[in-house]
Structures are given as structure tokens and as C-alpha cells.
Amino acid sequence: MGRWVSLLLGSVLFAASAHAADDRFAVQRGRMVSEVRSMAGQVEGRGRQISSAIYEALGRVPRHVFMPEDIRNRAYQNIPLPIGYGQTISQPYIVALMTDLVGAGPGVRILEVGTGSGYQAAMLAAMGAEVFTIEIVPELGERAAKTLAENGGARVQTRIGDGYFGWSEAAPFDGIIVTAAPDHVPQPLVDQLKAGGRMVIPVGRPNGAQRLLLMRKKDDGTLDQETVIPVGFVPLTRGK
């Protein structure tokens, strides 16, 4: 399963005022939020289900700090962008949608599989969630942990390892977000989801058709499944 590193980070506030003095991206971030709102209103009616609190979080969390220096000028485009090691930072619309679908809010315990840049974890934390996030690429996991620590934040714990197996010591979780696409839903993640909890996961073949699924765990352990939208994520990387 690879080596594991656990870091407990302080409270991630991402208050707009903390960045106001030197935030040259404030205008671009505002435009991004407007674009996400517009897109949400057009894609299968999902705009009705993205809360205003999530749009407010999008306006607070500085996406550019989670990106390599050489592409920060593109940080507030509503598109996925490369962050190195064959991985991407997700499109802001998708981040907003997944944050809403998983039910992020104060006190909600959420497992994220695929820390990547750390931006999705920051959004979950900005909503008040307690976040446990796993990244299999050590360089990405360490960089994300450093960025989160330097930019404030809610309680976020990070690990480096194979997210397919989840984080059993911290289970059960109210919600699970997977930010890379496996070809099937990992059973360990199902097992670690609390009854009544939600899992948001893209499933499909690499470079093929993928679906973003919303799964709700019933009291008897079975899952209700809803296909939300077609998506295109990088494949879920497994340990060797």
C-alpha cells in the first residue's frame, strides 16, 4: 500500500479578508464563480442543487495557490488543468457539484480519495467538514499538505498511500469523494461509508466513457445509485 504519512492541519478559514491586500486574482475568482453558476444552471438542472454556501466558498478559496507557478495565470478558468505527475486539478464546476452532492457541512466527516492539488479538500474544509484525504503520489501529497497548512484551514488530515483501501482507522464516514476514476466502486470504500452516508465517485474506463455516480448507503448496507452526469477523470492510480 506504499508509505503512509499523516498530518493534522489547523483550521482552514480561507477568509477573503486574509488575502484582500495582495490578492491580484480576486476579480478573476469572481468571474469564475459567475461562470460556474451559469454552467450549473444549464447542466441537467443541477443548478437547483448547488447551495449558495458553496458558491461563497468558491469565492473565498484561493484556487491559484494550489497550482504550479507556471499556470497560475489560468487558475480561475472553469477547466481542469495539469498539476504534474499525470494528474489534474478538477474543473471548478465539478468541484462545486461534488462538494454539494456529498453533503459537505459543519461537522460532516468526509474521506477524499485523491488529494491531488488539495483544492477539493480545501473546499470541503471551507464548508466546515472534517476532511481525511489520501494521495498515492508522494510529491503531490506532500505539496498539498504544505499548501493547506500555509493557507489556514479546517481540520484536514492527509495521508500518502493507496486510497482504494480507504482510511479504516477513521471510518465510518458521512461522505466519501473520489477524485479519480476506477473501473468499479471499491468495496473497502463502501464498507467505510456510514449508513445514510453518500459517496460521489466517477466510474469508467481510462480514456473511455465515465459516469459521475451519487451513491447512498441504506441501513441494510445496500446502495442506491444515481448517475449524475458524464465526466472525464484521470484513472485511479493503484499501489504496486
Domain extent, residue 166, equals: 7-231
Instruction: Give the range with max mean pLDDT: 45-59, 144-158, 181-195.
Output: 181-195
**Structural domain includes residue 179:** yes
Helix 52-60 vs helix 119-126: crossing angle, to nearest 10: 120
CATH number at residue 166: 3.40.50.150
- Confidence grade of residue 9 (pLDDT, cut at 50, 70, 90): very low
Question: What average pLDDT does this structure show over 5-27?
Answer: 52
**Structural domain includes residue 237:** no
- Confidence grade of residue 24 (pLDDT, cut at 50, 70, 90): confident
Answer whether residue 17 shows pLDDT above 50.
Answer: no
Q: What percent of the chain has pLDDT over 90?
A: 77
**Structural domain includes residue 165:** yes
**Residues known to be catalytic:** 90
Query: Phi, psi at residue 225, to the nearest 5°?
Result: -130, 135
**Model pLDDT for residues 79-111, shown as the tens digit of each residue:** 999 999 999 999 999 999 999 999 999 999 999
Q: Pick from 66, 152, 170: which is nearest to 109 by CA?
A: 170
**Structural domain includes residue 188:** yes
Q: Which residues of 101-131 are buried (b: 16+ CB within 10 A; e: fewer)?
A: bbbbbeebbbbbbbbbbbbbbbbbbbbbbbb
**Structural domain includes residue 222:** yes
Contact predicate 156/135, CB 8 Å: no
**Structural domain includes residue 126:** yes
Lowest mean pLDDT among 10-19, 91-100, 211-220: 10-19
- Confidence grade of residue 7 (pLDDT, cut at 50, 70, 90): very low
**Structural domain includes residue 79:** yes
Q: What is the pLDDT of residue 4?
A: 41
- Please name the residue ranges forming H helices in 43-183: 52-60, 92-101, 119-126, 138-150
- Confidence grade of residue 16 (pLDDT, cut at 50, 70, 90): very low
Number of domains in the chain: 1
**Structural domain includes residue 219:** yes
